Amino acid sequence: MNPNSWLMLCRSVRFGETDAAGVMHFQQLLRWCHEAYEESLERFGLTAAEIFPTPGCTPEVALPIVHCSADFRRPLICGSPLAIGLKPTRLDPGCFEVRYSFSSDDQLVAEGLTLHVAIRADGRQRCELPQGINRWLEASALQGGIQPL
């Protein structure tokens, strides 16, 4: 499977995502980051129920975002095409980050970052990343070399 199939996503800016000036509202960027993360996991083959709580099903390990950031380079308007590149990286056995690059018409328009830690859902103590996330991180790293567990 080609990593680009889950690490490069496309979408457009929608009217409801813009402000009164007609440009993307700043809070949309972090929403798009999380949506791209979810879609990347799905395209890789991990179901939402394996990673996120759903009615009647809580995974043993939660992956809260403990840090995020967003940098804006150029304004985006309704209809702007977006290519979203994801670069997930394992930082240690219980932590990973995802860097996001947003391009429109081959120009970098924004960047984002989310930092996730693994915690046991029952006691909220740090733990190792779940196996599915480790597979996603390992496969994603193959583009730039193998990343040890």
10-26 pLDDT tens trace: 999 999 888 888 888 88
Residue percentage of the chain with pLDDT more than 70: 95
In the three-class reduction of DSSP (H, G, I as helix; E, B as strand; rest coil), residue 79 is classed as coil
pLDDT value of residue 145: 45
E-only strand ranges, 41-106: 61-62, 65-72, 81-92, 95-104
Is the model more confident about 142 or about 128? 128
**What does the pLDDT average to over 129-138?**
96
The beta strand positions in 22-133, using DSSP E, are 61-62, 65-72, 81-92, 95-104, 107-117, 119-120
Catalytic site positions? 19
- For 109, residues 6+ apart whose C-beta sits below 8 A from its C-beta are 72, 73, 74, 75, 76, 80, 82, 102, 103
Q: What is the pLDDT of residue 143?
A: 64
Mean pLDDT of the chain: 91
